[in-house]
Amino acid sequence: MTTTRDLVLMGLFAAVMAALGLLPKVSLGIGVPITAQSMGVMLAGAILGAKRGAGAIGIFVVLVALGLPLLAGGRGGLGIFAGPTGGFLVGYVLGAYLTGLAAEKLPIKPDFPRFIAASLIGGIGGVYLPGIPHWWLITDSALTNVVLMSLNFMPGDLIKVVLASLVATAVYRGYPVIRRA
């Protein structure tokens, strides 16, 4: 049953995602610079759990599609979905869901390592799963090329996994929102 609190957490965390878009990109030297916002996907799952995390990111992605400039850099609208990276936005929702599922169910007791594992599964696995095929279809180029291109994102993604896990662990210590079975 979806409670009032569930709905409010979803709506508010969607707004948190939008706020994370205000943070400046961080260049790493190698690979594409990372945005704090993409961390939000893993945070949503780890902190709110699978259902609410996916709900929050789902709300965010739909609002972007409906035309709000919520992505880092004030971007948004249907154009994003039409481009090569559009699948990754859909992947955000799956990523949040899988991160949450893994964070709830993985038999790793201490928070930080459990969040690392969950973020790898959800934040990378979940996000790339719709991301790669969409990119491949839209640009109609060889799958190997697409995969090679995505490697550009890897260094950033791994840093995000660590950062998101640190943030989630700290938030959990301050204010656990879900209880593990």
Partner 1 sequence: MIGDLQVPGPSPIHAVPAGWKLLALALLGTGTFMLVSLPAIGAVACVVAALYPLGRVPLRHVWTQARDLAPLLGLMAGAQAWFDGPMLAGITVARVLGLVWAAGLVTATTAFADMMAVLERALRPMRHLGVAPARVSFAMTMAVRFIPLLQRMMVETRAAQGARGLGRNPFALAVPLIIRAIRLADRVSEAIEARDALPDGDADEPESEGARRSRTRDDREETR
Distance CA 15, CA 9 (A): 10
- Which tokens go with 123? 């934040």
> Which is closer to partner 1, CB of 65 or CB of 117?
65
Q: Is 83 in the site for partner 1 (CB under 8 A)?
A: yes
Q: Is 103 in the site for partner 1 (CB under 8 A)?
A: no
Distance CA 87, CA 149 (A): 14
Q: Is 24 in the site for partner 1 (CB under 8 A)?
A: yes
φ, ψ of residue 69 to 5 degrees: the values are: -80, 60
φ, ψ of residue 31 to 5 degrees: the values are: 75, -175
- Spatial CA neighbour of 126 closest among 11, 41, 7, 30: 41
Q: Is 70 in the site for partner 1 (CB under 8 A)?
A: yes
Please state the closest distance from residue 125 (CB atom) to partner 1, in A: 22
Answer for which of 29, 107, 110, 174 binds partner 1 (CB under 8 A) is 174
Subset of 109-168 contacting partner 1 (CB under 8 A):
138-142, 145-146, 149, 163, 166-167
Q: Is 30 in the site for partner 1 (CB under 8 A)?
A: no
Please state the closest distance from residue 111 (CB atom) to partner 1, in A: 14
CB 165 within 8 A of CB 91: no
Point out which residues pair with 34 in neighbouring strands.
26
Positions of E strands within the chain? none
Distance CA 35, CA 73 (A): 10
Answer for which of 45, 53, 76, 156 binds partner 1 (CB under 8 A) is 76
Task: Please give the DSSP secondary-structure letter assigned to residue 153.
Answer: G
Number of residues that bind partner 1 (CB under 8 A): 68
| Residues found near partner 1 in the complex (CB under 8 A) | 1-5, 7-16, 18-20, 22-24, 26, 36, 39, 43, 47, 55, 59-60, 62-63, 65-70, 74-79, 81-85, 138-142, 145-146, 149, 163, 166-167, 170-171, 174-179, 181
